[in-house]
Amino acid sequence: MNPHPKPTDTEQLRQLIDTVATLRVRCAWTQALTHESLRGYLLEESYEVLEAIDAGAPEALREELGDLLYQVLLHAQIGAEHGYFTLGEVAQTLRDKLVRRNRHVFESDGTERATVIEDVEEIIRLWDAAKAEEKAEQGKTKPVDGAHGLPAGLPALALAQKLRERRERSETPLPEAHHGAALEVSQVDDERGLGDALLALTARAQQLGLDAESVLRARLAEVYGP
């Protein structure tokens, strides 16, 4: 019998949560952190996760996911200290949302469906319908939403592609500039023309099943080096 059994995921998470709480009490630097001052760190850690994914490096990804998780735990700890919410409430809110939006897997009470829908288009339709119901119940766009219910800080290429995706899924006509017409670089001679060319490129990326933001990031790494 192993005298030192490997800790369970639950035990390891509990140790981590306790460590974050201790740092908030005993480390002056960590204690001074706020939701606002953590904004830059959250963005930086998110991009480092993406970098590890692009590199195909599992060990690096494990470390970077830990750094990103630290940001989540810090925000939850700060929220609890101010009486806004606890980590458990964050987890429960997420769990409720996953159950609510994944109607192809869960019944409304959270139990698993006897039969699971496997048609991807139907899954997306059910997801969109659930989100629409949520917005109708809320009566207005959430405070954290930007234009069209998307994060205001989303990079422009990613935002353009997301907006096009949403229009197509809801069968809403696309703006003329976002139809993906071919443009020659030499034809671009002003700010508006450049914007149209970028829109066209995001449209083409979607037609190819590619993510414009990731493609540009990968190409930059090839051209300028890591």
pLDDT digits over 27-55, tens only?
999 999 999 999 889 988 998 998 899 88
Q: Collect all residues with Cβ–Cβ distance below 8 Å to 73 and sequence separation of at least 6.
A: 16, 17, 20, 87
d(CA 9, CA 121): 34
Annotate 92-135 with three-state secondary structure. HHHHHHHHHHCCCCECCCCCECCCCCCCHHHHHHHHHHHHHHHH
> Cα–Cα distance between 110 and 133 in angstroms, integer?
17
Tokens found for residue 87: 């980590």
Any idea what DSSP says for residue 8? Answer: P
Provide mean pLDDT across the span 166-177: 67
Looking at per-residue pLDDT, the higher value among 121 and 221 belongs to 121
What is the percent of the chain with per-residue pLDDT over 70, rounded to a whole number?
82
92 neighbors 66 (Cβ within 8 angstroms): no
So what's the pLDDT on residue 145?
Answer: 47
Which pLDDT tens digit goes with each residue over 70-126?
A: 999 999 999 999 999 999 999 999 999 999 999 899 998 899 999 988 899 899 888
What CA dihedral angle connects 153, 157, 163 and 167, to 10 degrees? 180
